[in-house]
Amino acid sequence: MSPLVVVALASQIREYRRRHSTARVVDVTEEYEDLLKEDPHVKFSGEEAFGRYLDMHELYNEYINSKFEEPMDSFSQTELIPCNLKFTR
């Protein structure tokens, strides 16, 4: 960054701090410790090893059994696809 950009950013920060002088820093450690004390009531399947893995079988079966329209042989409106999606694998 050029020195002028740094000076401009510093002046913006000073101006923000001057306008919002009553803003305070929130200590989130108390909230985090309260969350750690709670006992989560999450039910995992046996395949998930108590949350270590993600069991996708139910979602996969739902996808496989979904009723879609008939498959397309070709798509002639390629200009509708954004360039960043055309070049992805």
pLDDT-derived band of residue 2, with 50, 70 and 90 as boundaries?
A: confident
In this prediction the pTM is 0.29
- The answer to whether 65 and 73 are in contact (CB under 8 A) is no
Structure tokens at 28: 């989130």
Q: What gap in Å lies between CA 78 and CA 61, rounded to an integer?
A: 31
Q: Check the CA dihedral 70-76-81-84 and report its sign.
A: positive
- Check pLDDT > 70 for residue 88: no
- Check pLDDT > 80 for residue 73: no
φ/ψ of residue 81, rounded to 5: -85, 125
